[in-house]
Amino acid sequence: MLKKLLVSLAVAAVCFGPATALLSVTVLANPAIAACAPGSLIVGPIPDSLTATTKNGETVTLNRQQLTHAATIITVGGQTDGIGRPGMVIALMAALTESHLRMLANTGTYPESANYPNDGDASDHDSLGLFQMRPQAGWGTVPELMDPNYQARAFYGGPTGPNYPSPRGLLDIPGWQQLDPGEAAQAVEVSAYPDRYQNYQPVAEAILTALTKPAPSTGGGGGEVVVPETTRVVFPLPEGTWVRTSPFGWRTDPITFEQAFHSGSDFAAADGTPIYAVADGIVTHAGYTGSWGGLIIVEHTVGGERIASYYAHMWEYGIHVTEGMTVTAGQHIGDVGSSGKSTGPHLHLEIRPGGTGQPAIDADQWLTDKGAEGITGGTTSRASCTLGGGGS
């Protein structure tokens, strides 16, 4: 009966902010080590502009939006096994060359592309987005390719990429680490102008240097984890899969039938429905916890404010992250379940300004106030990068 209720409810708005990420410090010393090694760099906050010089002496000035896209590319690279700093430089070179780090629509071929957040229109064949990827070449659908996170994942490729094994991403190019960075970019893009990419290598290096800095040490003494500013805020369940069942506030407890304060917002969804992180952040708890059942806690920085998001009642096998993992907004971190104090499959979501253990506010209202972006089922991926190491 519950599953029959789960019909066509959705949220649709867009919220972009300063972009940030976590990258491996170890990678900087040894690029052969996977980007998810322990230790981290902070990427962000994003400056209003950055000026750099290309190899042929041209001065390039990038604005905050372009640098936000660069930070997304770096974020995804930091969460993709085997990429490291060299792979991020190559990706930035490619995006600078193909789109000047702009999310480009292509209304001549795909009029619907204008319906997605974009930085302008272009008309190169059927190419879209940061890396000018072509739906007709198999890179993805129009909705997918108008998502900068998806484009970055597609460029990096590999077994966890959205198009493996074809079209080939960087990780699918044999010996890419030994290639000239421009040649590696060309191997992915297969451009008619293969010599263009080298020109932007100094600019890509300048971006990576400007946006990254060492993370302050917590000293091993329980110091606060440094969490960069999020790139966006998203709704935690796929569109059309959920229905609101129990709001934040006082209610009759469905198990004790007594008046009790409900500190979360409940969204009923079918068992196994993907749960997405509402913002970029760091997982501080992932496990089975009393009446919460399977519980994930993620710490974020949203609009300069520390926020903790709680996701409860997953089955133990439905938790796909571990403590210390960095996740991006819209990333698949778990699956809906009905463990702990629960009467049926649903997501119990809490938002706690100030961080873990602080008083909860109305999560549903918070998502509305932040203009949470609606998520479609085909545009996210399960979390896969480890950086280190109650309610109903």
The CATH classification number of 2-14+230-375 equals 2.70.70.10
pLDDT at 375: 54
pLDDT at 43: 64
Q: What is the CA radius of gyration of the chain?
A: 21
Is the per-residue pLDDT at 286 higher than 90? yes
Segment 365-369 shows an average pLDDT of 93
What phi, psi does 27 have (nearest 5°)?
-60, -35
pLDDT at 42: 55
Q: What tens digit of pLDDT does each residue of 79-134 get?
A: 788 888 889 999 999 999 999 999 999 999 999 999 999 999 988 789 999 999 99
Distance between CA atoms of residues 196 and 324, nearest Å: 39
Torsion sign across C-alpha atoms 145, 148, 149, 155? positive
Q: What tens digit of pLDDT does each residue of 24-57 get?
A: 322 322 322 223 332 334 565 678 899 999 999 9
Reduce the DSSP state of residue 188 to 3 states and report it.
helix
pLDDT category of residue 202 using cuts at 50, 70 and 90: very high
CB neighbour class for 28 (10 Å; exposed up to 12, middle 13-18, buried from 19): middle
Distance between CA atoms of residues 277 and 334, nearest Å: 9
Is the per-residue pLDDT at 325 higher than 70? yes
Q: What tens digit of pLDDT does each residue of 61-70 get?
A: 999 899 989 9
Q: What tens digit of pLDDT does each residue of 139-165 get?
A: 999 999 999 989 999 999 999 899 999
Q: What is the pTM of this model?
A: 0.53
Distance between CA atoms of residues 358 and 180, nearest Å: 50
Mean pLDDT in the chain? 81
pLDDT at 39: 30
Q: What tokens were used for 350?
A: 């809490």
The angle subtended at Cα 68 by Cα 66 and Cα 70, nearest 5°, is 75
The residues, any chain, with a CB within 8 Å of residue 325's CB and separated by 6 or more, are 282, 283, 286, 383, 385, 386, 387
SS3 content of the chain, % helix, strand, coil (to 5): 25, 25, 45
Q: Where are the domains of the chain?
A: 2-14+230-375, 21-214
pLDDT category of residue 4 using cuts at 50, 70 and 90: very low
Distance between CA atoms of residues 385 and 111, nearest Å: 36
Distance between CA atoms of residues 263 and 269, nearest Å: 19
Distance between CA atoms of residues 199 and 182, nearest Å: 8
Q: Which amino acid is at 86?
A: P
Of 140-154, 244-258, 364-378, the least confident? 364-378
